[in-house]
Structure 1
Amino acid sequence: MAGLKIENLYKSFDINGTKVNALTNINLSVEDGSFVTVIGKSGCGKTTLLRIICGLEEQTEGSVSFIYKEGIPSEMHSKKKVGIVFQEPRLMPWLTVKENMAFPLIKNKDRIEVYDTVNKYLNMLGLEKFKEAYPSQISGGMAQRVSLGRTLCYNPEIILMDEPLGALDAFNRRKLQREFINIFLENKKTIIFVTHDVDEAVYLGQKIVVMDKGFIIKEQSVDMDYYRNSSCSKFLQIRDSMLKEFSI
């Protein structure tokens, strides 16, 4: 397991000879085993930040460090296992549900271990009855669960989620929100969850990071137990304080 420390992070792009700053002086600490939500308007730099954390993008300046608890062997410090769940499930259509979930374990020669791991998450995510189905035969909500299961099979130390529920209807969205909480409580993974939905950020996050125009403009701790009542006064107070940051 690992936490994360981001220091003085900048990212700029050259677009037709013009320098565009996507991230400016980002400083952020994410504790090991915590659930952090990141909110902001489209284009504020949320996805760019995730892409840098997982190594899909190089920062212009600054550093991203993985912080381990005392007692973790030093050879583990260079592995930096990070998994990412995208807004679209990105499943391989020629593979079944169980085969998609097993894909990160393709190099594991212990087939019993692979079988046990995949079945564990099939059961956890309520997909055991659909394990032989293909992506075209399941709903969007199920496909997103398969994508999450694939990431869990990979067993990363940090899970990044880039608006994974953005394309779902309200019913499936709330159901999967609760499943994310169940998985977090059971596995104690470090989760960084990007969303543009303020209610979702408050419902899920132990800490909310607010971004605007490439800057972090606010960090807010959420001192509420799971599962949260989205109509209680404390929830609404935190939500309204987040909305004020965007002059909504």
Structure 2
Amino acid sequence: MSNEILMEIKSVDRTYVDANNHTVDALKDINLSIRRGEFLSIIGPSGCGKTTLLRLLAGLDVPESGVITLEGEEIKGPHPDRGYVFQQGSLFPWLTVEKNIATGLKARGVYKKHKNEIAQYINMIGLDGFEEVFPHQISGGMAQRVAIARSLINHPVALLLDEPMGALDAFTRADLQDKILELWKKNETTMILVTHDVEEALYLSDRVVIMSPRPGKISEIINISLPRPRQKNSQDFMVMRSSILEKLHLASTIPQVEYNI
């Protein structure tokens, strides 16, 4: 990881109107610099705006105020330079593994030029022999690998991961965590992960951003100095896990109303 700033979020607010016609402050005064090549995780309670923030970075949503930049240029919409992996993978059910991975190349009009890379990415995610298999014929963990390969084949400078392991069993989740780390090291792609799992954030990340409840604000940013590869059962790991859980609990605590009588 370098100290070069890849993405910058400056004084970003985001509000929306809910089903009851109430104005909701989803994000308030978000300021964050993301370094090129780092692995950053965003954690916080449900409804604190984690996914909203990720969608803003992807250009799938726009801030109410403030600005988000990538390499100094304002983000104004989605672009292949930012890959996005959804919680459920969102593969096209009528396409094979190989053709799902190829969709990004075809959308950009570069399929003929880069089609030879498809086999490389299938090998990279460990799915050799599954090229002609359809999504309903593979496991959830395998489907998420395909979704990650589909994003990475576009050579994005940043990969945005919206709880891609949230619906997986513990064994599959651990396996995919290691695969993501392997891809991160090999491709040197900046990765930004939204997760509810403190252990996952600690295992994967260079830094962990803790967000407080709505309106979502950054409560604290923690540098993870543990050496890699990390051992989840080591004393240092467990001590830091407990520390982050405590900080997360404090960030999630809604201040009580004070009455002066």
**Does the pair score TM above 0.5?**
yes
Deviations 1:107-163 (A, max 9, x none): 44562x433211111001111210000111111111111101100112111100000
TM-superposed deviation, 1:2: 7.0
State the distance in 2 between where 1:160 and 1:34 align. 12
- In structure 2, distance between residues paired with 1:143 and 1:109: 24
Deviations 1:179-212 (A, max 9, x none): 0100010111011001000000000000000011
Specify which of 20, 25, 33 is matched with residue 37 of structure 2.
33
Is the 2:102–2:111 Cα contact (8 Å) retained in structure 1?
no
Structure 1 residues 80 and 150: CA distance shift in structure 2, 3 A: closer
Q: Percent of pairs identical after alignment?
A: 39
Structure-2 residue corresponding to 1:227: 229
Q: Which amino acid aligns with 2:164?
A: P
Return the match for 2:68 from 58, 64, 69.
Answer: 64
- Match for residue 8 of structure 2? 5
The equivalences for 1:72-221 within 5 A come to: 81-106=81-106, 107-109=108-110, 111=112, 113-213=113-213, 214-221=216-223
**Which of residues 44, 47, 50 is equivalent to 1:43?**
47
Residue identity opposite 1:9 in structure 2: V
Counterpart Cα distance in 1 of 2:111 and 2:122:
19
Deviation of 1:58 (Å): 1.1
1:71 maps to: none
Please identify, of 59-68 and 93-102, the stretch whose mean Cα deviation from structure 2 is larger: 59-68
Residue 20 of structure 1: aligned partner: 24
Shift in Å at residue 29 of structure 1? 0.7
Whole-angstrom distance in 2 between the partners of 1:105 and 1:67: 23
- What are the superposed Cα offsets for residues 25-71 of structure 1, whole Å, 9 maximum, x if unpaired? 11111100100011111111000000111111111011101136xxx
For 2:58 and 2:248, locate their aligned partners in 1 and report how far apart those are by CA, in whole Å.
Answer: 28
CA distance in 1, matches of 2:243, 2:178: 23
CA distance in 2, matches of 1:24, 1:2: 22
Q: Contact 2:93/2:136 (CA < 8 Å) preserved in 1?
A: yes
8 Å Cα contact 1:108/1:114 also seen in 2: no
Q: Which structure 1 segments of 5+ residues have no match?
A: 69-73
Say if 1:83 and 1:160, in contact at 8 Å, map to a contact too: yes
Q: How far apart are the structure 2 equivalents of 1:60 and 1:37? A: 23
Distance 1:80 1:92 in 2: 18
Equivalence for 2:238: 236
CA distance in 2, matches of 1:80, 1:100: 15
Asked whether the equivalents of residues 82 and 156 of structure 1 are also in contact (C-alpha less than 8 Å), the reply is yes
1:2–1:155 CA distance, 2 compared to 1 (3 A): farther
- The CA RMSD measured in Å over matched residues stands at 1.9
Q: Contact 2:5/2:33 (CA < 8 Å) preserved in 1?
A: no
Contact 1:66-1:80 within 8 A present in 2 as well = no
